[in-house]
A = this chain, B = another copy of it.
Amino acid sequence: MPPLPSEISSRVKRLAAKLREKGLCAALLRYRLHIFYFSGTFVDGHLLITAKEESYLLVYRTLERAKAEGQATEIISFRSLKKLPGFLRDLGLKRIGLEYDRLPVRQFLLYQKLLADFSLEDLSPLLWEIRAKKSPYEVDCLRRAAAMLAEALRRFLPRLRPGMTELEAAGLLEASLRRRGHPAHTRVYNWTQELAYGHLLFGASAAVPAYVTTGQGGQGVVGYPQGPGFCKLAPGEIIVIDYAGWYEGYMVDQTRLFSWGKLPKDLVEIYEKIYELMQSLEESLRPGVLAAELYEKALAEAQRLGMNKIFMAHGSEKVAFVGHGVGLEIDEWPPIAKGVAVPLGEGMIIALEPKCHLPHHGEIGLEDTFLITSEGSERLTLFPREIRLLGP
């Protein structure tokens, strides 16, 4: 079910309050995901939200669906950017916030020229903060995303067989996600990154480093060198499945381990330590704790458990994070990373992914998505955490 009118109004009100705080007259949004967040519909166009809590959906395409699905004070066809200065002037707006983290420079230069009589400012951090705090409606979507992922996994697992390639297995899991409503597209915030559904990796390939800031890398294919590749499943290897569940725009992030037949004892021992480390991190999840504190705690625990050398490394290179916000994008605010002095707050959704990498064996890790509650946290990804042994 799409967001209710009351959900959209409350988002517009929160943004308007932030605009007033900063002395801005309005937010001029161009990024489709922000337009969806604040109006309930995807359009190619602009969404103008004023400090007075009014919103104008200025539509290139499509007016038909914008009117059927969207919510705004006015929804109008608006095909010429040249009319924008007049439109803003008529509303008495002067200081306008833009999405500096999304707009490419060429688009920005166009606005600068067109809106030379206005004062333009960066809205990005303000939007990160608003989106980081999830409403009960959003938490409900996230719970459904977790249930959807669990069900898709359960239906897929009996079809996995030794000799299958990572790509073949990924295709089967993804078909299972797809029939449950997954759009085969993962929205990523960081413009230097890209990601398909997630990573399904066998054995050593999960320790192959890649260009992306993810728990694991993967060999991938030429032209897309991350994630599943042509490597084949052998019995006794670790199978890593780090995939996102989806429900109506919202994603949860989860990593689980599997194996066809028994795993070597030393790998199971590392898993037990990761499990202990995750529990210890989980106990620290509560309003007020800083993202950087969680990261430092993870490092300290890895040290205490004697696995600091293999902890959060991509091949031979360290990755300086242990988690991230998640929601409409897979990498929302805040990163749980070195130096991020951002306190967690009630309603935030945080994925934690402590992982170890062993060049010859791959990855031993866990990932869960948590809701920060008034007293601590609640785990949303309820698929059993044990290493599941597959096969006859």
Residues of A within 8 A of B (CB): 1-2, 30, 32, 36, 41-44, 61-65, 69, 98, 100-109, 122, 124, 165, 167-168, 170-172, 174-185, 187, 191-197, 208-213, 217, 220-228, 230, 246-250, 314-317, 319, 328
Contact = CB atoms under 8 A, between A and B. Distances in A.
Copies of this chain present: 2
Given A105-B105, A174-B175, 16 more contacts: A1-B222, A42-B211, A62-B209, A62-B211, A62-B314, A62-B315, A65-B208, A65-B315, A100-B106, A101-B106, A104-B104, A104-B191, A168-B175, A183-B224, A222-B249, A223-B246
A37 to B, nearest CB: 10
Contact of A65 (B2, B209, B230): B209
B106 A124 contact: yes
Contacts of A194: 32, 185, 187
Contacts of A176: 171
Given A179-B165, A196-B183, A101 B101 contact: no
B248 A223 contact: yes
A211 B47 CA distance: 14
A173 to B, nearest CB: 9
Nearest to A108: B105
B213 A44 contact: yes
Contacts of A100: 104-106, 109
B106 A211 contact: no
A303 B211 CA distance: 50
A225 B106 contact: no
Contacts of A175: 168, 171-172, 174-175
Contact of A222 (B2, B213, B316): B2
Nearest to A59: B211
A40 B197 CA distance: 24
Nearest to A45: B211
Given A104-B100, A179-B171, A30 B192 contact: yes
A318 to B, nearest CB: 10
- Interface-centre pick from A174, A183, A314 (highest chain B CB count, 10 A): A183
A107 B1 CA distance: 37
A155 to B, nearest CB: 11
Contact of A183 (B107, B182, B208, B223): B223
Contacts of A184: 170, 174, 184, 196-197, 227
Contact of A170 (B62, B105, B178, B247): B178
A171 B178 contact: yes
Given A174-B184, A222-B248, A230-B181, A62 B105 contact: no
Given A104-B103, A104-B104, A178-B174, A217 B44 contact: no
Contacts of A228: 178
A185 B196 contact: yes
Contacts of A191: 102, 104, 107
A195 B226 CA distance: 19
Contacts of A217: 62
Contacts of A61: 209, 211, 213, 314, 317, 319
